[in-house]
């Protein structure tokens, strides 16, 4: 029994350590330890980011937070969340005093609308100049007052080449409804992502506020449910890695983890268009160390740091210089950096009004009963 | 008397802040709407979840029953061993809990999958694979595994106090194994049974995550809905609180029934 548990643990740990996308040499990006060490300033920044979403020193990578403390003398208390919603629940309840948070597009829009975000002083963030203009003034922050983009990506379908017929690959999102793969299909366990796919399959916008269209999408999801092996998030690494499932949608940036877990995994971005997402750095209004938080954001936009993060996490960077320095195997890979043709058809999530959110909640929970 | 009162003060304060006050908040949220006006709407909406409540309670009760059946002999055997061995065995019982709950449940995913450890083993023996993952069966297995120690420990701590000579006396007077169990062991270990049932049933009924990881997330249990209302997408403390409140009342009812059975048990044991 203990052996089995150990094996289980090893599997989980393997998934964690394989997260870096290219091997070794990452410490060469910047030898920050030989820079002069700043004196402690007695300030601790609380940073709240997605799990596995920063170059953290594991696998010989650059330890971004340690480097920041070394260079600036500001301590970092780094915490991780697993969904935008759990992060939002904490911040909106005033239950935590975070100084830098990195939510996704639609959540940023929602938080900005609710007055939860502080306006940034871009004089303190000169490295913003490196951010690709394509990623400024995004729909979630049209005047670019609150955010500095961190990483972005798209949603793709992962499939097992030995289990899915090549001839079926042009079916687009319908592939996830193909009865041939009944019992071997995985689906997002996250309502916004799941609805987006159903809406795209029907040819609607994934930002629709038309309740009839949402009803149709819910009906599609109900139709899909009996074909599914399950609704998953992180578990997809395990399920796809062990040939347990044949296909499922997930974030393209995680392709490297999938590929290391199982060499038979292929990726495709459906023709109908997909979801493009941007995760951006913001400062909650409640922060008591706004200037230091801006220093942190600026640090994250240093070319070396942006490069280290893009290299380690494998999601796409909006940092022009870092992208140039990135291993071409990543920066020229259409799964990580899709062509403009794909991006033109991709949609960014827009924050839903409360009424539509509630409506989608009820449809989703109906599906789960 | 006053000394005792002063000594219990820290606990009283603790209870007030972390039990009474939150309970009051749950009741408050359950009976108000988002603007804070009194309403029964949240409680009425619970009717939509009646099937989920039923499934959650049934699965929780089944897991509790399996835990009881498995834990009872184990606890008895542990309680009859030497002191040294007892310490080791109790520690071994607790040991899985040193590992994170999520990690353990993840491990069970790998064990129960179609190409998981069990089916690989069956394959080696030339047997057909059994489909277990993403079923209610897998959810119950996850509950039993995670909560079994909570049944063994209270049973053990009651049984270890049962005087060996009482059992010997019964045997000397001609009781067979079943009679010893029925008329000596069972009544004397009843408090442990009730504690064990409480400690397993309550977390099992309200569990979340297990159903998502082992059940495939296709059928949420009541704990998953409550989670979704508090920290999930559907942030709505009012309905979430109403669900929690109804769950608490249902659990209390179930416990009251167990308590009644227990009292009968004791009476039967001593009287008959």
In a domain? residue A11: no
Instruction: Decide if A150 contacts A305 (C-beta within 8 A).
Output: no
B104: chain A residues, CB-CB within 8 Å: 5, 8
Residues A158 and A266 in one domain: yes
Q: Are the beta carbons of A46 and A97 closer than 8 angstroms?
A: yes
Tracing tokens 């983009």 back to the chain, one arrives at: A149
Nearest to B58 by CA among B134, B112, B133, B136: B136
Q: How many CB pairs under 8 A join A and B?
A: 103
- Name the one residue in this structure whose structure tokens are 């303190």: A124
Find the closest chain B residue to A369 by CA distance.
Answer: B219
Q: Tell me the shortest Cα–Cα distance from B117 to chain A, in angstroms.
A: 8
Region for B232 from its dihedrals, namely left if φ exceeds 0, alpha if ψ lies in -120 to 50, beta otherwise: beta
- Look at residue A93 and tell me whether its pLDDT is greater than 90: no
pLDDT in tens, B195-221: 999 999 999 999 988 999 999 999 999
For position A105, which CATH number holds? 3.40.190.10
Residue with tokens 């209270």: B154
Tell me if A352 is assigned to some domain: yes
Give yes or no for a contact between A45 and A76, defined as CB atoms under 8 angstroms apart: yes
Which range has the top average pLDDT, A9-23, A276-290, B244-258?
Answer: A276-290
Distance from CA of A305 to the nearest CA of B (A): 31
Do A103 and A182 belong to one domain?
A: no
Nearest to A255 by CA among A21, A11, A14, A26: A21
Window 94-123 of B, Cβ < 8 Å to A: 96, 99, 103-104, 106-111, 113-117
Mutation pick from A5, A91, A103, A261 vs chain B, by most beta carbons of B within 10 Å, is A5
What is the span of the domain harbouring residue A350? 153-276+346-367
Residues A312 and A267 in one domain: no
Give residue A329's pLDDT: 86
> Which segments of chain B does DSSP mark as H helices, in order?
2-7, 9-15, 21-30, 41-45, 50-79, 83-94, 101-112, 117-124, 136-159, 164-172, 177-180, 186-205, 210-214, 222-230, 237-271
Residues A182-239 have pLDDT tens digits of: 999 999 998 999 999 999 999 999 999 999 999 999 999 999 999 999 999 888 998 9
In a domain, residue A9? The reply is no
Residue A172 and residue A119: Cα distance in Å, rounded?
40
Judge whether A222 and A120 are in contact, CB under 8 Å.
Answer: no
Substitution target in A86, A359, A364, A368 with the highest count of B β-carbons within 10 Å is A368
Same domain, residue pair A91 and A159: no
What is the model's pLDDT at position A133? 95
pLDDT digits (tens, 9 = 90+) for A117-158: 999 999 999 999 999 999 999 999 999 999 999 999 999 999
Q: Which of A2, A4, A10 to probe the B interface (max B CBs under 10 A)?
A: A4
Residues A200 and A345 sit within 8 Å (Cβ to Cβ):
no
Measured between alpha carbons, how far is B89 from A12 in angstroms, rounded to an integer?
A: 28
| Predicted pLDDT at A5 | 43
Q: Please check whether residue A17 lies inside any domain of the structure.
A: no
Asked if A88 and B235 come within 8 Å (Cβ–Cβ), the reply is yes
Examine the predicted complex and report whether its ipTM is higher than 0.85.
yes
Residue matched to tokens 């442990």: B192
> Do A251 and A313 lie in a common domain?
no
B13/A9 Cα distance (integer angstroms): 40
Show the domains of chain B with their CATH numbers: 44-271 (1.10.3720.10)
- Residue of A11, A89, A235 lying closest to B213 (CB–CB): A235
Contact B218 A228 (CB under 8 A): yes
Question: How many structural domains compose chain A?
Answer: 2
- With an 8 Å Cβ cutoff, are A192 and B233 in contact? yes
Percent of chain A with pLDDT over 90: 77
CB contacts of B110 in chain A (<8 Å) are: 7-8, 11, 238, 242
Asked if A168 and A289 sit in the same domain, the reply is no
**Rounded to an integer, what is the distance from CA A143 to the centroid of its chain?**
23
Q: Which helix (H) or strand (E) segment is A249 a member of?
A: strand A247-251
Q: Name the residue among B51, B109, B232 with its Cβ closest to that of A238.
A: B109
Establish if A81 belongs to a structural domain: yes
**Smallest Cβ distance to A85: which of B107, B216, B231?**
B231
What's the rounded mean pLDDT across residues B101-127? 92
Shortest alpha-carbon distance between residue B232 and chain A (Å): 6
A266 and A168 in one domain? yes
The residue of chain B nearest to residue A6, with distances taken between CA atoms, is B107
> pLDDT of B16-45, one tens digit each?
999 999 999 999 999 999 888 999 999 999
């Amino acid at each position: 029994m203990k052996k089995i548990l150990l094996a289980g643990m090893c599997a989980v740990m393997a998934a964690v350590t394989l997260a870096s996308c290219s091997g070794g040499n990452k410490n060469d990006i910047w030898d920050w330890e030989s820079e002069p060490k700043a004196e402690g300033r007695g300030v601790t920044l609380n940073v709240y980011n997605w799990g596995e979403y920063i170059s953290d020193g594991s696998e010989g990578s650059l330890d971004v937070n340690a480097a920041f403390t070394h260079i600036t003398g500001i301590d970092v208390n780094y915490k991780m969340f697993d969904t935008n919603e759990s992060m939002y629940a904490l911040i909106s309840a005033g239950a935590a005093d975070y100084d830098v948070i990195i939510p996704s597009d639609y959540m940023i829009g929602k938080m900005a609308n609710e007055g939860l975000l502080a306006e940034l002083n871009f004089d303190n963030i000169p490295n913003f100049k490196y951010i690709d203009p394509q990623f400024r003034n995004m729909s979630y922050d049209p005047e670019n007052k609150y955010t500095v983009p961190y990483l972005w990506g798209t949603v793709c379908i992962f499939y097992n080449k030995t289990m899915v017929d090549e001839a079926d690959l042009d079916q687009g999102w319908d592939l996830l409804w193909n009865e041939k793969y009944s019992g071997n299909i995985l689906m997002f366990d996250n309502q916004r992502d799941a609805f987006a796919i159903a809406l795209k399959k029907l040819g609607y916008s994934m930002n629709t506020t038309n309740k009839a269209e949402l009803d149709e999408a819910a009906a599609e999801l109900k139709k899909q449910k009996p074909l599914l092996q399950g609704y998953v998030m992180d578990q997809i690494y395990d399920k796809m890695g062990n040939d347990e499932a044949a296909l499922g949608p997930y974030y393209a940036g995680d392709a490297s983890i999938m590929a290391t877990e199982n060499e038979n995994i292929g990726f495709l971005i459906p023709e109908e268009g997909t979801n493009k997402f941007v995760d951006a750095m913001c400062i909650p209004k409640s922060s008591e160390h706004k200037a230091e938080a801006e220093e942190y954001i600026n640090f994250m936009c240093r070319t070396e740091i942006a490069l280290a993060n893009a290299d380690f996490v494998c999601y796409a960077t909006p940092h022009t210089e870092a992208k140039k320095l990135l291993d071409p195997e990543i920066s020229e890979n259409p799964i990580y950096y899709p062509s403009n043709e794909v991006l033109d058809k991709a949609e960014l999530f827009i924050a839903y009004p409360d009424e539509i959110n509630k409506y989608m909640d009820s449809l989703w929970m109906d599906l789960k009963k | 008397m006053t000394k005792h009162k002063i000594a219990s003060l820290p606990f009283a304060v603790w209870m007030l802040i972390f039990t009474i006050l939150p309970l009051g908040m749950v009741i408050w949220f359950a009976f108000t709407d988002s603007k804070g006006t009194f309403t029964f709407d949240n409680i009425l909406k619970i009717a939509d979840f009646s099937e989920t409540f039923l499934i959650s309670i049934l699965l929780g009760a089944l897991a509790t029953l399996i835990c009881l059946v498995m834990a009872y002999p184990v606890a008895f055997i542990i309680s009859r061993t030497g002191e040294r061995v007892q310490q080791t065995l109790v520690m071994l019982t607790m040991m899985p809990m040193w590992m994170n709950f999520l990690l353990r449940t993840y491990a069970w995913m790998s064990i129960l999958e179609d190409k998981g450890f069990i089916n690989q083993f069956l394959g080696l023996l030339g047997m057909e694979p059994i489909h277990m993952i993403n079923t209610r069966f897998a959810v119950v297995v996850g509950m039993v595994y995670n909560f079994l120690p909570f049944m063994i420990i209270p049973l053990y701590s009651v049984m270890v106090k049962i005087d060996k000579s009482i059992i010997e006396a019964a045997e000397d007077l001609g009781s067979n194994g079943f009679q010893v169990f029925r008329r000596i062991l069972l009544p004397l270990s009843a408090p442990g049974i009730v504690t064990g049932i409480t400690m397993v049933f309550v977390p099992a009924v309200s569990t979340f995550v297990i159903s998502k990881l082992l059940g495939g997330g296709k059928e949420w249990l009541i704990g998953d809905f409550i989670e979704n209302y508090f920290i999930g997408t559907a942030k709505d403390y009012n309905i979430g609180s109403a669900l929690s409140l109804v769950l608490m009342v249902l659990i209390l009812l179930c416990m009251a029934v167990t308590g009644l059975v227990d009292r009968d048990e004791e009476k039967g044991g001593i009287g008959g």
